[in-house]
Structure 1
Amino acid sequence: MNRITELLGIQYPIFQGAMAQISRHQLVSAVSNAGGLGILASGGLTADEVRDEIRKTKALTDKPFAVNLMLMMDNVAEIVEVLIEEGVKIVTTGAGTPKPYMPRLKEAGVIVIPVIPSVKLALKMQELGCDAVVAEGMEAGGHIGEMTTMPLTRQVAAHLDIPVVCAGGIADGHGFVAATALGAEGVQMGTVFLAAEECPISAAYKQEILISVDTSTVVTGRKFGAPVRCLRNQLTTKYLELENQNISRHELEAMTMGALTRAVEDGDVDNGSLMAGQIAGLVSTIRPAKAIIEDVMTEAKAVLEHLSL
């Protein structure tokens, strides 16, 4: 047991990343039942849809789970009220500061854990009264920052008094041990859970993860300050070509409208957005979420036993 497991009441200090349109009740409940922290993604959902996902998750698990708040959404305040009404006690946040909602969340006894890309923002979150932070490096899939996982995690852990969870480029026990060595007290993994049996994405999307190698991902959107890491395909190739030309941000956004849905629901691996991290090349089998978590912990113990200094 460490500060993360004690704080959250979970067996293993493993978070399942909140992936938009992907981290739904099926996956979240499976991760929580396996002893980790399942995290519902609220991005793109209405307040009523979030309430429905919370209730479906509760019907499948009595273990702790969290809801992620994308703070750029217009309906965040409404969703916060839903979380409180439904008795959700753990919240992770991204894409902004939770400052406007902290009094309400803390009044309701909610644990708040922001995802941060720098020491500066991590210190602000600690000062704000957050309970822990997730330090996410740019090796992660989806929307990313500029710092890589190793220097980010080490520096955040060195500067903060609250617990740090490491994210970005972790999919097995070796990564778990590395994160611990950097000062983290837990890890957050997303890409490896794309290949979980319970993950509700198309079979074609899962297959693309399984056949990936270390160089399969690419980052789009850097020109306009909105970098996103995905698997290479026809969409990313076209996007990068246009991004290097005199194309407006509006035109590029129009091209990617609905791209994640095309990948997740339709299985369009050519024109869909296959968000995934650089560690995808290490993910080669479809397993239950329980097996993923247990394999990570078993391997981590074996790695620690064989380390010699």
Structure 2
Amino acid sequence: MTAPGVLHTRACQLFGVRYPVVQTGMGYVSDAGLTAATAEAGGLGILSAALLSHDELAVAIKAVRARTDRPFGVNIRADQPDVERRIDLLGTTGVKVVSFALAPREDLIARCKDAGLVVVASVGARRHAEKVAAWGADAVIVQGGEGGGHTGGVPTSLLLPQVVDAVDIPVIGAGGFFDGRGLVAALAYGAAGIAMGTRFLLTTDSPVAPAVKQVYLAKTVTDTVLTTEVDGVPQRVLRTGTVDELLRTTGPRRLLRAARNAMAFQRLSGTPWPDLVREGLTMRKAHGLTWSQVVMAANAPMLYRSALLEGRADVGVMATGQVVGLIDDLPSCAELIERIMAEASCVLGRLVGS
């Protein structure tokens, strides 16, 4: 299927893809398999590199390349100690797009552009979009409060048109999207496409444990909570026993749990302690976190890994958007994107009376 007329947007042209659908970079979820499957289906797959070492990232890029010759992106963190080296790696391995979960510095955007990369920044406020656009970003992903993981409090229906009116680069809407109706709605607001996390997590191409996918499918739109108790920064997750326990845990016990998780993550990842400390200092400065919140940030990698990869929904944490309550199946990425585009075409046809 080829995207007709209005459905072939500026985002399609910028990314070199058939359809204006982006699969977001999700830690432990957006692996080489999911990224390649999205790319092969005509969307923009984004490989998550936030929890990968430089060498692991190089291997993952090769794995995507072995599965598809279509454009894809890589999501990196602007606060990683070796971020410049990672950018250089992307530029020399033929990656099309670099996306940043946190707004990158102006010098990092310039380095990406020099490497021939299309730069996409994820933002949660108009002022952030204006800043990165002025610094040279090629597009922004705008996530409303319905979205999963780290998110803000302004709903997509208000934030998206606000950002569209503020910048002249392609704007991708995120938070609450899962079907063709949502794509048409985003285009009506002036967006150039949609980005989805939870919807791609719940596909057969996703590496998430099957039992955990069933937990997601059983949830409603009211079964999520926006909390700072996981890592000190507001994020939307499924309300589970683990999350309820975090909400009840007192300060000293919470910090002890975080310290144990920090040591476990250091052993698992092999990240040198000085690098972890530098990342913590950067997070503290960038987000105005207290030292307690910095220590709490060690919770996230291990809690997510326990649930998503090990299938321990009883002891892990699962990021999700509120849209989880509207999802009831596990299609492949190809089936999902074809369905979205077919539905969007039908909706447009109905609106114009054809």
TM-score bracket relative to the smaller structure: over 0.9
Structure 1 residue 127 displacement after superposition: 0.8
CA 243–37 in structure 1, closer or farther in 2 if over 3 Å, else same: farther
> 2:297 and 2:137 mapped to 1: Cα distance?
33
Q: 1:222-237 residue pairs with structure 2 within 5 A?
A: 226-237=233-244
Structure 1 residue 225 displacement after superposition: 5.6
Unaligned residue ranges in structure 2 (runs of 5+): 1-7, 255-291
CA 51–240 in structure 1, closer or farther in 2 if over 3 Å, else same: same
Structure 1 residue 301 displacement after superposition: 1.6
Match of 2:135 in 1: 128
Alignment partner for residue 42 of structure 1, among 42, 49, 52? 49
Alignment partner for residue 72 of structure 2, among 57, 60, 65? 65
Match of 2:318 in 1: 274
CA 256–235 in structure 1, closer or farther in 2 if over 3 Å, else same: farther
> 1:131 and 1:250 mapped to 2: Cα distance?
31
Residues 69, 94 of structure 1: 8 Å contact kept: yes
Unaligned residue ranges in structure 1 (runs of 5+): none
> 1:46 and 1:82 mapped to 2: Cα distance?
12
After TM superposition, the structure 1 stretch with the greater mean CA deviation from structure 2, 232-241 or 99-108, is: 99-108
Match of 1:113 in 2: 120
Alignment partner for residue 293 of structure 1, among 318, 334, 337? 337
Residues 135, 164 of structure 1: 8 Å contact kept: yes
Match of 2:346 in 1: 302
> 1:152 and 1:231 mapped to 2: Cα distance?
23
Aligned-residue CA RMSD in angstroms? Answer: 2.1
Residues 46, 75 of structure 1: 8 Å contact kept: no
Residues 223, 243 of structure 1: 8 Å contact kept: no
**Number of positions where the alignment pairs a residue of Structure 1 with one of Structure 2:** 309
Residues 91, 115 of structure 2: 8 Å contact kept: yes
> 1:35 and 1:103 mapped to 2: Cα distance?
28
> 2:232 and 2:299 mapped to 1: Cα distance?
17
> 1:119 and 1:153 mapped to 2: Cα distance?
9
CA deviation vs aligned residue, 1:7-27 (integer Å, no higher than 9, x gap): 111000000011011101100
- Is 1:90 aligned with 2:90? no
Structure 1 residue 244 displacement after superposition: 9.0
Please identify runs of 4+ aligned residues in structure 1 that moved more than 4 A.
Answer: 222-225, 243-248, 250-257
CA 75–213 in structure 1, closer or farther in 2 if over 3 Å, else same: same
Structure 1 residue 258 displacement after superposition: 0.7
Structure 1 residue 63 displacement after superposition: 0.5
After TM superposition, the structure 1 stretch with the greater mean CA deviation from structure 2, 267-276 or 31-40, is: 267-276
> 2:144 and 2:175 mapped to 1: Cα distance?
5
What letter is aligned with 2:130?
Answer: L
Residues 232, 297 of structure 2: 8 Å contact kept: no
Residues 72, 96 of structure 1: 8 Å contact kept: no
> 1:304 and 1:23 mapped to 2: Cα distance?
31
Residues 114, 125 of structure 1: 8 Å contact kept: yes
> 1:243 and 1:300 mapped to 2: Cα distance?
48
Structure 1 residue 175 displacement after superposition: 1.2
Structure 1 residue 243 displacement after superposition: 6.6
* SS of structure 2 residue aligned to 1:54: helix
Match of 2:283 in 1: none
Residues 70, 95 of structure 1: 8 Å contact kept: yes
CA 13–75 in structure 1, closer or farther in 2 if over 3 Å, else same: same
- Is 1:249 aligned with 2:293? yes
> 1:223 and 1:113 mapped to 2: Cα distance?
26
> 2:42 and 2:203 mapped to 1: Cα distance?
15
* SS of structure 2 residue aligned to 1:55: helix
